[in-house]
Amino acid sequence: MVVLINFPLCTVNGERVHVPDGFLTLPWIVATYLATGAYALYAKMKAKLTPEKVTAMSVLAAAIFVAQMLNWPIPGGTSLHFVGGALAYLLLGPWLGFFTEATVVTVQALVFHDGGITTLGANILNMAIVDGVVGYLVYKAVTKVMGNTRKARLIGAFLAGWAGITVAGIMAGLEIGLSPSFPYGVATTVPVMGGWHALLGIIEGIITALVIDYLYERNSPLVVHLR
């Protein structure tokens, strides 16, 4: 990790975890759009939307959108902000959670140019599918082993937030590193993205655990799936 922190930093401003246009080659653009489209179709079939579920989704999406605007700069290093894919899946389940996080990422790209158009499929894949699915599976595994206790929820949600964002970071590293123009790029991008996100993911995990615990203990209507 020390090696990674000592890498020289570039001075690009304004981009976040969102991949901008120009970073992906055509095969990755097509593949990520197809994968995202397939998941979206399946999620639409499974979601069984009701007005109440849609309201919960929109409130959570608005909250995650605003939370993503709070960057926590780390002097001399990097910055982080909450991503929320795992949180959305834990609160609303893997289908409603997907549409919640995908809405956030799409509004960011279309309205605020935060992330590109050609890379929108990849950004939804990373933040609204990989982050969420990994987090969801980790949480389910932890609560299966430890039982449905408050302690299990806290540990499960922490590990879900951490693992989700770490694997999503690795995925983004694979996408930008595995392109024909950079045959060895993946050896650079995966350790950098995975390493940093494993570190920053600790904060994502802590926030995910605290929010899940707070909402669960107070019987919030945002807890649709865990009950």
Partner 1 sequence: MSVAEMYSKYKKALITIAVLLVVSPIFGVILANAVGYHEPLDVAASMLHLHEVNLGDWTPFADYTVPGLPEAIGYIVAGAIGVAIILGLGVLLSRMVGNESA
Looking only at residues 67 through 86 of this chain, which bind partner 1 when binding is defined by CB under 8 A? 67, 69-79, 81
DSSP state string for 37-105: HHHHHHHHHHH---HHHHHHHHHHHHHHHHHHH--EE-TTS-EE----HHHHHHHHHHHHHHHHHHHHH
Query: Does 27 sit near partner 1 (CB under 8 A)?
Result: no
Q: Which of residues 111-150 bind partner 1 (CB under 8 A)?
A: 111-114, 116-118
Residue closer to partner 1 by CB (options 9, 141) is 9
Residue closer to partner 1 by CB (options 163, 222) is 222
Residue closer to partner 1 by CB (options 37, 183) is 183
Question: Which of 30-38, 99-107, 128-136, 142-150 is the region at the interface with partner 1 (rule: CB under 8 A)?
Answer: 99-107
Q: For residue 133, how many other CB atoms are within 10 A of its CB?
A: 20
Residue closer to partner 1 by CB (options 127, 154) is 127
Question: Which of 55-63, 86-94, 127-135, 144-152 is the region at the interface with partner 1 (rule: CB under 8 A)?
Answer: 55-63
CA distance 3 to 99: 38
**Near partner 1 by CB under 8 A: residue from 31, 35, 62, 152:** 62
Phi, psi angle pair for 73, to nearest 5° = -70, 140
CA distance 11 to 172: 20
Phi, psi angle pair for 181, to nearest 5° = -75, -15
Residue closer to partner 1 by CB (options 37, 77) is 77
* 3-state secondary structure (DSSP) of residue 153: helix
Closest CA to 186 of 170, 198, 200: 170
**Near partner 1 by CB under 8 A: residue from 3, 6, 11, 227:** 11
Q: Which of residues 158-217 bind partner 1 (CB under 8 A)?
A: 169, 172-173, 176-177, 182, 185, 188-189, 192-193, 195-197, 200
| Terminal-to-terminal C-alpha distance of the chain | 39
Kindly state the number of chain residues that form the binding site for partner 1, as judged by CB under 8 A: 76
Residue closer to partner 1 by CB (options 27, 77) is 77
